[in-house]
Amino acid sequence: MTPPSQRLVFANQLRGLAALGVISSHLIGVFWAMREFVAAATASPVQPGNVPTIFALVANPWLNPGPIGVGVFFLISGLVIPFSLDRHTRARFLLARVARIFPTYLAAIVIDVIVLDLAGAFWQRPFPYDGSTIFSNALLFYNLVGRPSIDLVNWTLCIEILFYGLMTILARRVKLGRLFPLFFAATVMLLAICARRWVPLGGFGLRNAALLDTLSLESTFLIFMLIGVLFNYHHRGFLSAIKAGSVIGLMLAMFVVAWRIGALRPQYPVVTANYLLAFIVFTVAYGLRTYARPFAPLDFLAAISFPLYLVHSIVGFVCLKVFMLVFELAYVPSLIATAMIVIALALTLHRAIERPTIRIGQRLALSRQRNYETA
């Protein structure tokens, strides 16, 4: 049988395109449209000047490459994670996921903290985060304790971690391509979102209410990721094309309802539409997957997409400010120079940390599995 990685070239290349979408949305769109927010998040002055012409590329809120890219990332995770479940026991799967996420992520957080400290010192602004915020970000539970995100993108990793937990619980049934557990999980999450919306909290407390809102938001995206699992079922032959279309349509409808009534309802329907576009992009690419072939530029972006995603926001925003405010360069040359820096940094993290720790994690997981089998 052909290994999944070879049969899913399209998914790997979509990662590269999704990374481009997120980066362009942030370094072009957010940088200009949310100047005060960017200044506060990077301990830097508010960016002056007129919005450049290139901003038009990301100006349409109904066609925003940022949420489209994130949506594609989520669907890819839903598609490929069941293959890891097929190869691993639950414990081995979790070890492999920890090795995949945390070493590279922690290195990126360290870089962000250093960059923020240097930016604050240069522009004589206080460091924007305390120790508990850094600690909760490092371990990816800041969202549960009401702390802000440092890198502005790790909210997606919090959802990924929850998804790994859900897949671990459902591992045996997902391996067998069972539909009921997926829809049962989605229904439970949707009912919880409904309860959060319509059941009075009484004396539950503002902090606990905020926690429920966070879980409501994250549950919405978990339902979306389950769509990727359904594509996996079709790819592995558990679902016919007609049945896959039906169940995927049903799960997509549940996702839209969850968005409409949950914590994300202020963003409905504009941001929701971008996730539906992500679904369309992913579906078309999936339908044409047999035509996908290696393509060096996309394969390169796909290889460094995770560290690139992690470092592009804080490092990118600060670099843009330095080039424009200190060296007085125009925006487009500053953007090009910034892109080169974040790509070089991502490549360094990929080669120095991401690739080696993935191999170490796989060896540790395999060792644990062998010890379990001989115990």
pLDDT tens, 137-176?
999 999 999 999 999 999 999 999 999 999 999 999 999 9
Which H or E run includes 64?
none
Could you give the C-alpha distances from 186 to 17, 95, 222, 271, in angstroms and in order?
28, 25, 8, 21
- Cα torsion 62, 73, 192, 180: sign: positive
Q: Answer yes or no: are the C-beta atoms of 152 and 313 closer than 8 Å.
A: yes
79 burial type by CB count under 10 A (0-12 exposed, 13-18 middle, 19+ buried) = buried
Residue 301 clears pLDDT 90, i.e. is over it: yes
62 burial type by CB count under 10 A (0-12 exposed, 13-18 middle, 19+ buried) = exposed
The pLDDT of residue 4: 44
- Torsion over CA of 261, 262, 265 and 268, rounded to 10 degrees? -70
Average pLDDT over residues 104-127: 97
**What is residue 330's DSSP assignment?**
-
The pLDDT of residue 213: 85
Residue 253 clears pLDDT 90, i.e. is over it: yes
15: tokens are 């990662």
The Cα–Cα gap between 363 and 202 comes to 50
E strands, 181-305, in order = none
H and E: helices and strands count for the chain: 17, 0
Per residue, what are the HEC states of 88-132?
CCHHHHHHHHHHHHHHHHHHHHHHHHHHHHHHHHHCCCCCCCCHH
pTM of the prediction?
0.93
The Cα–Cα gap between 353 and 331 comes to 32
Average pLDDT over residues 37-48: 97
Q: Answer yes or no: are the C-beta atoms of 213 and 220 closer than 8 Å.
A: no
Tens digit of each residue's pLDDT (9 = 90 or more) over 304-326: 999 999 999 999 999 999 999 99
Residue 370 clears pLDDT 80, i.e. is over it: no
